[in-house]
């Protein structure tokens, strides 16, 4: 075998190996190229998803902030309306009612004495006296009619403000629902970000973790603001209370002034009990009674230091902060009252109403019955 033949035989396998290697390299490049493109696309897709989730967090946070601010604004309006309503119920209406009662009596007397009045006019000494007496009688009658109209106007103003405060409270409930939905959206976005952080490569996981941490921070801030915004609306009082069959005049009344039933010291920062059935507008239902009329509690001192009078627009409740406004409905009537006393102390009752509250609801002759109520 010559050297040439020997060289020819060694070079041919080498060429075959090179050819096979190049073929495999080209084939590998062709197959791997799509995978390389997919990896790049997946990274871009992940970043886009993170940006979308972050945008959701920002939008939800803005919606939550707007809803919370609206709740605070509406709460201020409710406080102002409640003060106005309490003034009308406790001061204006009683005064106008007394005037209207006197005016109605005077008009009735004038009508009954119409013949005597006509005789008096015709017995006038002169035309001038006749005119003077006629003007006087007309002025008296007009004054009586004005008193009746003023009372009717006061009732109209009260009903309009009651309707307005009820609508405002409904709007507060709607804004609180909107804030809660925004908080849920942030929670869902944060959960999605955390899932992305656990499923991608190191660089993408770091970006997802950073976005998730920011979302968690926003969620925590929103959750704190939501709790503080809804705190004044909490507080249902299932507190339980007076006997199921007898009105408050049985001695289970709530005023401390009567000193008949010592009240346990209230918690300075009470936790409201879970109330009866409610709806999205915050309405609850519970058994109510009244006290201060014919039971010895009139003139007593309430837990907040107020005096129980015929015009008292207060109620007694357990586990509800003193000074809380409460809207009460019964048989188509509505009234705004303030929690200024503790009680009732017989099981089964939620609210013990003072005289003017019971009177406004037509409850004085009822004694004990179920009412609807919600906190403002």
- For residue 260, the tally of other CB atoms under 10 A from its CB is 14
Per cent of the chain over pLDDT 90 is 16
pLDDT at residue 105 greater than cutoff 80: yes
Of residues 135 and 2, which shows the higher confidence score? 135
The helix or strand, by DSSP H or E, that contains position 290, with its residue range, turns out to be strand 284-290
pLDDT tens by residue, 278-298:
565 788 999 999 998 888 888
CATH class of 248-375: mainly beta
pLDDT at residue 357 greater than cutoff 50: yes
pLDDT tens by residue, 175-224:
888 888 888 888 888 787 777 777 656 667 777 777 777 777 877 877 77
pLDDT at residue 368 greater than cutoff 90: yes
**Cα separation, 242 vs 359, whole angstroms:** 20
**Cα separation, 308 vs 314, whole angstroms:** 8
- Burial of residue 40 (CB within 10 Å: 0-12, 13-18, 19+) is exposed
Q: What is the pLDDT of residue 134?
A: 83
- Look at the pTM and tell me if it is higher than 0.75: no
pLDDT tens by residue, 125-137:
787 877 888 888 8
Delimit the domains of the chain by residue range: 66-233, 248-375
Nearest to 327 by CA among 280, 361, 369, 298: 361
Q: Across-strand partners of 314? A: 338
Helical H segments across the chain, by residue range:
3-87, 93-112, 114-122, 127-199, 202-230, 355-360
């Amino acid at each position: 075998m010559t050297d040439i033949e020997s060289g020819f035989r060694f070079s041919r396998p080498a060429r075959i190996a090179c050819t096979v290697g190049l073929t495999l390299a080209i084939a590998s490049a062709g197959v791997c190229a799509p995978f390389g493109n997919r990896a790049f696309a997946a990274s871009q897709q992940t970043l886009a998803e993170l940006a979308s989730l972050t945008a959701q967090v920002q939008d939800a946070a803005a919606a939550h902030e707007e809803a919370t601010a609206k709740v605070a604004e509406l709460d201020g309006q409710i406080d102002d309306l409640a003060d106005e309503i309490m003034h009308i119920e406790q001061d204006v209406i009683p005064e106008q009612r007394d005037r209207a009662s006197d005016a109605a009596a005077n008009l009735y007397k004038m009508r009954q004495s119409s013949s005597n009045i006509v005789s008096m006019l015709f017995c006038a000494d002169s035309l001038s006296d006749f005119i003077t007496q006629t003007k006087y009688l007309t002025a008296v009658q007009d004054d009586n009619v004005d008193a009746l109209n003023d009372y009717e106007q006061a009732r109209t103003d009260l009903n309009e403000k009651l309707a307005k405060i009820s609508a405002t409270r409904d709007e507060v409930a709607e804004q609180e629902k909107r804030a809660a939905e925004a908080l849920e959206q942030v929670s869902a976005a944060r959960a999605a970000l955390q899932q992305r952080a656990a499923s991608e490569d190191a660089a993408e996981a770091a970006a997802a973790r950073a976005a998730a941490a920011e979302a968690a921070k926003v969620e925590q801030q929103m959750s704190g603001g939501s709790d503080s915004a809804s705190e004044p609306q909490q507080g249902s009082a299932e507190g339980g209370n007076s006997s199921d069959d007898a009105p408050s005049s049985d001695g289970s009344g709530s005023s401390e002034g009567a000193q008949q039933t010592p009240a346990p010291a209230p918690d300075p920062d009470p936790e409201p009990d879970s109330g009866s059935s409610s709806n999205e507008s915050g309405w609850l239902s519970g058994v109510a009674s009244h006290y201060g009329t014919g039971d010895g509690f009139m003139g007593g001192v309430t837990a907040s230091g107020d005096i129980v009078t015929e015009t008292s627009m207060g109620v007694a409740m357990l586990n509800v902060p003193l000074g809380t406004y409460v809207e009460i409905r019964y048989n188509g009537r509505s009234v705004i009252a303030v929690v200024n006393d503790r009680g009732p102390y017989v099981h089964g009752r939620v609210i013990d109403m003072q005289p003017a509250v019971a009177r406004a609801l037509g409850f004085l002759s009822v004694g004990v019955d179920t009412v609807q109520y919600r906190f403002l």
